[in-house]
Amino acid sequence: MTAVPMTSLDTSYDVLLLDLDGTVYQGPEEIPGAKEALARCTARQFFVTNNASRGPEAVAKHLTQLGMAATADAVVTSAQAAARLVAARIPSGSMVLVVGAEALAAEIANVGLVPVRSFEDRPVAVVQGFSPDIGWRDLAEGALAIRAGALWVASNVDTTLPSERGLLPGNGSLVAALRTATGQEPLVAGKPASPIMDDACRLSRASNPLVVGDRLDTDIAGANGAELDSLLVLTGVSSVVDVVLADSALRPTYIANNLDGLHLPLDDVRFGGSEHWHAEVLDGDLVVRFTGADGDPLTGIRAVAPVAWSAGNVQRIRAADEATAPFVAAWHG
């Protein structure tokens, strides 16, 4: 077995708050190496997902089928967070219109509310979460209730959902339809909003957690909002170019290609300078130069991103010379 560095992320934090889609798996398939990386971890693992289409038991079963150790009580979903958010704002026993999967309806029932599917039931709240089966009629019922004054809670507003086929429309795309139809804004339970992060920290009893995910706008923004450290892995939505151009709310503490980064020395995943990588900002461009013989593209990103972040006005990245051009081209995919 490969030795784990004493100063790795896994040994520096007591709980890993792990995103799922794009971080551990894509659709039904494990992201290569995820199972082995998590099996080597000594830190406790909690799985925190914005996907509201499945309950904790189904998520844990999926992880177990992929060969990962997981139990339902170590899974925190945006459906649970949304249900708790609704329950804190309306009387027990109230009707709640569910625009989403049966797993979301079950969470509404679990908090003492009554899930319904029709505006004719006079719901006092609407809760919306992702389901691949949502259609126009479901959105229409939600629009009628929201226009009539019902409280509107969205499990999350991710515009896309990673899958083995590529990026698909996420719950945020469906929320946008109701936003357009009603002119209203929902309360949000999932990342980057605080309810799901608060639930994850409370349920895991973490004293020093690390948030791990693939999206700057949800996982990393949620960590920053909760004042938690974070690791961005490049197996899902966000790219290295996104990292360089990110504003302060979206900047991760660490970056790695995949979950193997949990076991690397801290100096290999934290941002900081390198003697062979140089950058300056000229007229909104981050101009990068590599002066070594054999460079690692991710080391380059870790070295030059802080230069861009300090300047705060970078619009694009370009190479200073032909030797650096292949690295910059690789960053842009």
- Predicted confidence (pLDDT) per residue in 13-59, tens digit: 999 999 999 999 998 999 999 999 999 999 999 999 999 999 999 99
DSSP-assigned letter for residue 116: E
Q: How far apart are CA 2 and CA 147, in angstroms?
A: 58
Residues known to be catalytic? 19, 21
Specify whether the backbone of 284 is left (phi greater than 0), alpha (psi in -120 to 50) or beta: left
Q: How far apart are CA 205 and CA 196, in angstroms?
A: 14
CA-wise closest residue to 169 among 143, 135, 146, 196: 135
DSSP-assigned letter for residue 288: E
Q: How many residues comprise the chain? A: 333
Structure tokens at 124: 């006092």
Report yes or no: 124 and 94 within 8 Å, Cβ to Cβ: yes
Q: Give the chain's domains with CATH numbers.
A: 9-50+193-267 (3.40.50.1000), 90-188 (3.40.50.1000), 273-331 (no CATH)
Q: How far apart are CA 275 and CA 290, in angstroms?
A: 9
Burial of 147 (0-12, 13-18, 19+ CB in 10 A): middle
Q: What is the pLDDT of residue 293?
A: 81
Measured in whole angstroms, the distance separating CA 78 from the mean position of its chain's CA atoms is 11
Kindly report the average pLDDT of the chain as a whole number.
Answer: 95
pLDDT band at residue 2 using 50, 70 and 90 as cut-offs:
very low
| Per-residue pLDDT tens over the stretch 144-201 | 999 999 999 999 999 988 787 888 999 999 999 999 999 999 999 999 999 999 999 9
Q: How far apart are CA 27 and CA 241, in angstroms?
A: 25
What are the backbone dihedrals phi and psi of residue 265, each rounded to the nearest 5 degrees, phi first?
Answer: -60, 145
pLDDT band at residue 5 using 50, 70 and 90 as cut-offs:
low
Structure tokens at 200: 């994850």
- pTM of this structure: 0.91
Q: Tokens 């140089």 label which residue?
A: 278
In sequence order, which ranges of the chain are alpha helices (DSSP H)? 9-12, 34-39, 56-65, 78-87, 102-110, 136-147, 171-182, 194-204, 221-225, 240-244, 297-311, 325-331
For residues 209-225, average pLDDT: 97
Report yes or no: 110 and 83 within 8 Å, Cβ to Cβ: yes
Beta partners for residue 287, in sequence order: 280, 318
pLDDT band at residue 6 using 50, 70 and 90 as cut-offs:
low
